[in-house]
Amino acid sequence: MRTVETLQFDHSFARLPGAFYTRLFPTPLPTPYLVHFNEDAAGLIDLHPKEAARPEFIDYFSGNRLLPGSEPLAMLYSGHQFGVYVPQLGDGRAILLGEVRNQAGERWEMQLKGAGRTPYSRDGDGRAVLRSTIREYLCGEAMQGLGIPTTRALSIVGSDQKIFRETVETAAVLLRLAPSHVRFGSFQIFYYRRQHELLRTLADYVIAHHFPALAEKKEKHALFLMEVVLRTARLMAEWQAVGFAHGVMNTDNMSILGLTFDYGPFGFVEAYDPGFICNHSDHIGRYAFNRQPQIGLWNLSALAQSLTPLISKEAATEALDQYEPVFNAHYTTLMARKLGLKEFRNEDVPLLLDLLRLLQSNKIDYTHFFRALGNFKQAPGERNSDLRARFIDIAAFDAWAERYRSRLLADTLPDAERKRAMDRINPKYILRNYLAQIAIRKATEERDYTEIGRLLHLLRRPFDEQPEMARYAEPPPDWAKEIQVSCSS
């Protein structure tokens, strides 16, 4: 294990031409203090957990002191925001420090989020607030626990510095880890500026560092696009299956590696509503839950257009044509597992769709229902009273349950074995907004950070029963309906 001073730093992105970034130092954070430290994430860069107890740790991870070997910079990119192209965005409050190579040979970029103004801040103050850093810190670990590709976070450093959003809040800095922070918008800016050689440089860099098997291929740029399409299609299927809504699927928030990226006004579907809008700022529902697969393809089309100076339109179309079948195949595989089926058959489509309609019309909690479905008894005459009692339209559920029973009997899988398999894919615990809000209130009003640690521990094992934590699986309280999250979240 390493100390902060002996982390094996490199900064391959900083070796690119200066057109890709602006070098600058973080803005010092007044009177910083440690809010939380993620030991699991520290293991990704071989950092010894005891390092968090050193006074220097807070200075290093607030941006007040430069990490040895780091080369801080803000990345340049553009992107479509709510469908409208914005010619220049870039890291307006984040500073990339460089990459740390761990003993396994993996590279993890370290980024300070909330580290002050950059040339890309526009009218922003360059800071993050404690509320939003807690949400991202927790959700990265929640998604990791669910097995969904994601960025991670190492630490939160807080400050009493006042920051104005909808109200006055306090500042914080999040240390984010990812194999790469390159996004779709990183390519778009050089396409729209007609700087095609820079576009090629960036594509070659990403291929060399993250898709090395393609580096010597004749059609490496087309194959690169294909790989991004496949990864994004699978990611969208995983979001839909678990009930996760991102909230701001702008092209500058889409990872080139297919990671869940830039957590803001996210939410998990509770009472099932396919049109669930988690972002209070999304007035037209562009990023509603059921539109995410479509938006994923839309964003990939924008990326494909940006790569047309490097690949033929035919190759771009061929890659994009793979999106829908890959998404459908992965989604139906996941949903078959959630239903306890050995495989998904074409005749299972009505069974699944009718169930989702039942969940919607009866306002059934999506996560609770699928977890409880593992207890379904397939013996003829079994009423499955616990499941039945959840529905207003009991007759409709009974009719569906008979069809489901017949389908399970065709698989000949014993109830106990099926339940074990279903409990491995249907989580008992998710990061509901009210749980995050409780942790935020304790942190911002009482400087009590224990709930952050408790949730972190819980969400790392979302499929385990954890009986001592059972209250975290209870239905949301009535006040949870009043929680609103927006792009400032």
Residue among 82, 91, 110 nearest 20 (CA): 91
Quote the CA–CA distance of 205 and 466 in Å, as a whole number.
44
CB 257 within 8 A of CB 179: yes
Helices (H) and strands (E) in the chain, counts: 16, 13
CB 135 within 8 A of CB 153: no
In terms of DSSP H, where are the helices of 45-180? 55-62, 130-146
Amino acid at 32: P
Residue among 168, 148, 152 nearest 160 (CA): 168
Cβ neighbours of residue 473 closer than 8 Å, sequence gap 6 or more: 368, 371, 428, 429
DSSP code for 31:
S
Number of neighbours of residue 454 by Cβ within 10 angstroms: 15
Annotated catalytic residues are: 252
Q: What angle do CA 437, 148, 186 make, to 5 degrees?
A: 90
Q: Say how far residue 150 (Cα) sits from the centre of its chain.
A: 5
Please spell the DSSP secondary structure of 197-239, one letter per residue. HHHHHHHHHHHHHH-GGGTT-TTHHHHHHHHHHHHHHHHHHHH
Cβ neighbours of residue 325 closer than 8 Å, sequence gap 6 or more: none
107 forms beta bridges with 101
CB 133 within 8 A of CB 113: yes
Cβ neighbours of residue 339 closer than 8 Å, sequence gap 6 or more: 348, 351, 352, 355, 373, 404, 422
Quote the CA–CA distance of 270 and 288 in Å, as a whole number.
14
Q: Say how far residue 293 (Cα) sits from the centre of its chain.
A: 15
CB 79 within 8 A of CB 183: yes
Residue among 66, 134, 128 nearest 94 (CA): 128
Q: Phi and psi (nearest 5°) for 35?
A: -90, -50
Q: What angle do CA 454, 458, 463 make, to 5 degrees?
A: 175
21 forms beta bridges with 75
